[in-house]
Structure 1
Amino acid sequence: MSDLSAMIVGCGDVGSRLARQLLARGWQVHGLRRTVAQLPAGVLPVAADLSDASIPAGWPEHFPDYLVYCVAASQHDEAGYRAAYVEGLRHVLSWLADKGQHPRRLLFVSSSSVYAQQSGEWVEEGAATEPEGYSGRIMLEAERLALESGIPASLVRLTGIYGPGREWLLSQVRQGYRVAEEPPLYGNRIHAEDAAGLLAFLLQADAEGVALEDCYIGVDDDPAPLAEVVAWLRQYMGVTEWSDEQRVRRTGSKRCSNARARALGWVPQYASYKEGYAAILKG
């Protein structure tokens, strides 16, 4: 058994997967969300609405070693993103300050939307962050809040998360949707279990005294052109029809690198879309 502990704020899909992985390692885990009945077994519940500035009734008097801020916006517009990522984090940091609590590290789960590269460039953590959309701009604001919190912090910029229950592309392919082949539109993916695995890996590394960087990109080993992914899925699923009207649409084209996380020793369980989608379809 470990004597380590973590608070996962926003214990939804990825957060719950992280909780189960930490519990399996012997960690004590608190999970904060609005509906705590959906928390995995073994997670200590903290019921809270991050839009409420008052300290939740279940806030622990002895705060866990680590704080993971892993929320998802409940409404996908500028106000929703600001409420979830900026104001919610500000409330949590305020609760910590009011209680005089100081975690060993904060992991802030961010997004590759902060990168606006569109020409298939390879992107690493230090690449220019000049997002054109509100989601990337607000995420950068939240990242700054985390890094300036006074708590040692690392950002984890996850790319397109997929997995059971996150099957949008599979639905598109089944309906025969098309995607442009030229120029290649590179997409970046990480299986939800690997996203949680990277967070668990970083927490364990920090606990063991490894010096963490202030930012990591969460992505598999194979940023691939979307047309290639669609073609592979069509063959795997036996889809032969094409839709005349519908297309898979996306903006941007970049290839995110996981070299920094891999150099630390992290290895994704699903190295590419092939292993990840095969596991979903077999399930």
Structure 2
Amino acid sequence: MSEKRIFIFGAGYSGKAFALANQGAATIVGTTRSREKFETLRNSGIEPLLFDGALTDEIGAALKQTTHMVVSVAPEESGDPVLDVGRAAIMERMPALQWIGYLSTVGVYGNHDGAWVDETAQCRPVSKRSVMRVKAETDWLRLGSDRCLPVAILRLSGIYGPGRNALVNVENGTARRLVKPGQVFNRIHCDDIAGALWQLISGNTGGIFNVTDDEPAPPQDVVAYAASLMGVEPPPEIPFDAAQLSPMARSFYGENKRVANAAIKAAGYRFRFPDYRAALDHLWASGDWRDGEARSPMKR
């Protein structure tokens, strides 16, 4: 089999976890908006390139050799920043391309009053950002059809992992136990995003996949569990109606659903962290919970 050459548009938190998960399995190129992040990307096994909305000659040269492309760039009101400038390149100047993966969000489902949803559920996005995600998903699927390539849409729930988790929030005093009766959220550890991506890439598998844990749970329970691991008192419970929240934070609580993940399991993936307890247990025991940079190959 020829070498995989993977290009990540938007090599941020999830992209770095993806590269770290399978060192040496592929040549990985990834974009960032800041040259200051180049060293961090290199430490994760990613060759960094700048992308500020324009396709440079360097990006064009890398795309020409790309076999698998992962898009982790949020859409804007004007459209998808990658599709807007890259459609022609994808259609005409990427002869080696075999597969496209697009990282989306379970926010596309909107509110289902706590009911279970799977990939067949109706998308009824509430927030403007989720409305834009639905359009972006449709545009990427259409492009894949036009190019006769499989496109995998990964609908992600709340992302956490090293450096971004309830343990960190408890330690720095930002954790809050907001209680809204009946409210649950799904979550996904960044290593399981990485694992799902590698699984889909291995088979050039297309389709729509909820990449989310097995256990939608009340957010206050996650904070309490983190505090118990640390041996400290959890912050007091705060009724949701009395909480001071930003409009964006409040909007998250306006969407309540339980997201099923059978499709990605049927594609062959087995979750490393099927629930928040397994993940927090591992983060606490490994010592990786404070700083994800500790996981770079140079520090292992």
* TM bracket (short chain): 0.7 to 0.9
Q: Which amino acid aligns with 1:59?
A: G
Q: Which residue of 1 aligns with 2:228?
A: 235
Describe how 1:190-229 pairs up with structure 2 within 5 A.
190-206=188-204, 212-229=205-222
Contact 1:22 1:29 in 2 (8 A): no
Deviations 1:254-279 (A, max 9, x none): 11111111122211111110011222
Q: Which amino acid aligns with 1:51?
A: G
Q: Which residue of 1 aligns with 2:91?
A: 97
Aligned-residue identity in percent = 24
- TM-score, structure 2 normalization: 0.78
- TM-score, structure 1 normalization: 0.82
- With over 3 angstroms needed to count, the CA separation of the structure-2 counterparts of 1:234 and 1:85, relative to structure 1, is farther
Separation in structure 1 between the aligned mates of residue 21 and residue 215 of structure 2, nearest angstrom: 24
Q: Match of 2:31, SS?
A: strand
- With over 3 angstroms needed to count, the CA separation of the structure-2 counterparts of 1:201 and 1:138, relative to structure 1, is same
Contact 1:50 1:91 in 2 (8 A): no
Separation in structure 1 between the aligned mates of residue 78 and residue 212 of structure 2, nearest angstrom: 23
Between 1:232-241 and 1:59-68, the stretch displaced more is 232-241
Contact 2:210 2:260 in 1 (8 A): yes
- CA deviation after TM superposition for structure 1 residue 199, in Å: 0.7
Contact 1:20 1:40 in 2 (8 A): no
Q: Does 1:64 align with 2:57?
A: no
Deviations 1:113-161 (A, max 9, x none): 1011241111101111010111111111111111111242110111100
Separation in structure 2 between the aligned mates of residue 130 and residue 168 of structure 1, nearest angstrom: 29
Separation in structure 2 between the aligned mates of residue 270 and residue 247 of structure 1, nearest angstrom: 32
Separation in structure 1 between the aligned mates of residue 120 and residue 48 of structure 2, nearest angstrom: 35
- With over 3 angstroms needed to count, the CA separation of the structure-2 counterparts of 1:178 and 1:100, relative to structure 1, is closer
Separation in structure 2 between the aligned mates of residue 128 and residue 247 of structure 1, nearest angstrom: 31
Contact 2:65 2:94 in 1 (8 A): no
| CA RMSD, 1 decimal | 2.8
Q: Does 1:48 align with 2:50?
A: yes
- CA deviation after TM superposition for structure 1 residue 43, in Å: 4.3
- CA deviation after TM superposition for structure 1 residue 85, in Å: 6.7
Q: Which amino acid aligns with 2:256?
A: S
- CA deviation after TM superposition for structure 1 residue 13, in Å: 1.4
Contact 1:47 1:56 in 2 (8 A): no
Which of 259, 262, 270 lines up with 2:262 in the alignment?
A: 259
Separation in structure 2 between the aligned mates of residue 63 and residue 108 of structure 1, nearest angstrom: 19
Between 1:261-270 and 1:81-90, the stretch displaced more is 81-90
Q: Which residue of 1 aligns with 2:41?
A: 39
Describe how 1:1-283 pairs up with structure 2 within 5 A.
3-24=3-24, 26-34=25-33, 35=35, 36-41=38-43, 43=45, 45-52=47-54, 54-60=55-61, 62-71=64-73, 73=74, 81-82=75-76, 86-99=80-93, 101=95, 103-149=97-143, 150-151=146-147, 152=149, 153-167=151-165, 171=169, 174=173, 177-180=176-179, 182=181, 184-206=182-204, 212-237=205-230, 238-242=232-236, 246=243, 250-282=253-285, 283=287
Separation in structure 1 between the aligned mates of residue 234 and residue 43 of structure 2, nearest angstrom: 43
Between 1:213-222 and 1:162-171, the stretch displaced more is 162-171
Q: Unaligned 5+ residue runs, structure 1?
A: 74-80, 207-211
Q: Match of 2:124, SS?
A: coil
Deviations 1:142-191 (A, max 9, x none): 11111111242110111100112223685269556332252x21101000
Q: Match of 1:8, SS?
A: strand
Between 1:240-249 and 1:129-138, the stretch displaced more is 240-249
- CA deviation after TM superposition for structure 1 residue 28, in Å: 2.0
- Alignment coverage as a number of residue pairs: 267
Q: Unaligned 5+ residue runs, structure 2?
A: 288-300
Q: Match of 1:260, SS?
A: helix
Separation in structure 1 between the aligned mates of residue 79 and residue 121 of structure 2, nearest angstrom: 22
Separation in structure 2 between the aligned mates of residue 170 and residue 272 of structure 1, nearest angstrom: 18
Q: Which structure dedicates a bigger proportion of its chain to helix?
A: 2
Separation in structure 1 between the aligned mates of residue 206 and residue 105 of structure 2, nearest angstrom: 16
Q: Match of 2:125, SS?
A: coil
Separation in structure 1 between the aligned mates of residue 93 and residue 265 of structure 2, nearest angstrom: 37
- CA deviation after TM superposition for structure 1 residue 214, in Å: 1.5
